[in-house]
Amino acid sequence: MKALENRIETDGTVLQEGVLKVDKFLTHQVDPVLMEQVGAEFAKLFEKEKITKVVTIEASGIAPAIFTGLHLNVPVIFARKSKSLTMNEELLTAEVYSFTKQITSTISISRKFLSEEDNVLVIDDFLANGQAALGLVDLCRQAGAKVEGIGIVIEKSFQTGRELLIEKGLRVESLARIGSLENQTVTFLEADA
């Protein structure tokens, strides 16, 4: 997606080998106009899949996911990274290991929001090692829901996430695919959209 790649070039910062900071428009300050375009693009890519639910994870996944849900006219569920006070019923849970933070955390969704009737589109802001996306897929499959695909805003294609997801038979659509961050420079691969 050209508008997204342009924005990464203008406002992204390569902090160190492998770390891209996009807090000016995605992960801390968010550009709602760009996110609306991102959501429209995901909706177009998956329009034939009869999606019934969009599933993402707090917090940076919410903005792209909510516009995807708006364009597909379906509810959006954001998985929690910690248990909420009012989450008193049965939960679907999965363990997610973070290579960057080197910790395992438990993510969860209330079981009542996913069923065998659901065709899910998983949305996330970043794809690197794929652990968060795999955790979300795991939650959906525990409920018997079908995962129609994964929509990623920014894919770090030099890490293993995409490969892992495709090995599991999942369709992956990334709006910006980064081939390299070497020499503090963002180099794109051809994106899915």
Site string for its own copies, 110-129 (x = CB under 8 A): x--x----------------
Closest by CA position to 146, among listed 116, 176, 186 = 116
Q: What is the DSSP string of 104-125?
A: EEEEEEEGGG--TT-EEEEEEE
Q: Does residue 28 touch its own copies according to CB under 8 A?
A: yes
- Considering only 3, 11, 18, 30, the residue that binds its own copies (CB under 8 A) is 30
27 annotated as a binding-site residue:
yes
* DSSP structure string for 48-71: GG---EEEEETTTTHHHHHHHHHH
How far from each other are the two terminal CA atoms of the chain, in whole angstroms?
A: 5
15 lies in the site for its own copies, by CB under 8 A:
yes
Q: Does 21 bind its own copies (CB under 8 A)?
A: yes
Residues lying near its own copies in the complex (CB under 8 A): 15, 19, 21, 23, 25, 27-33, 35-36, 58-59, 62-63, 66-67, 69-70, 73, 75-78, 80, 84-88, 100-101, 109-110, 113
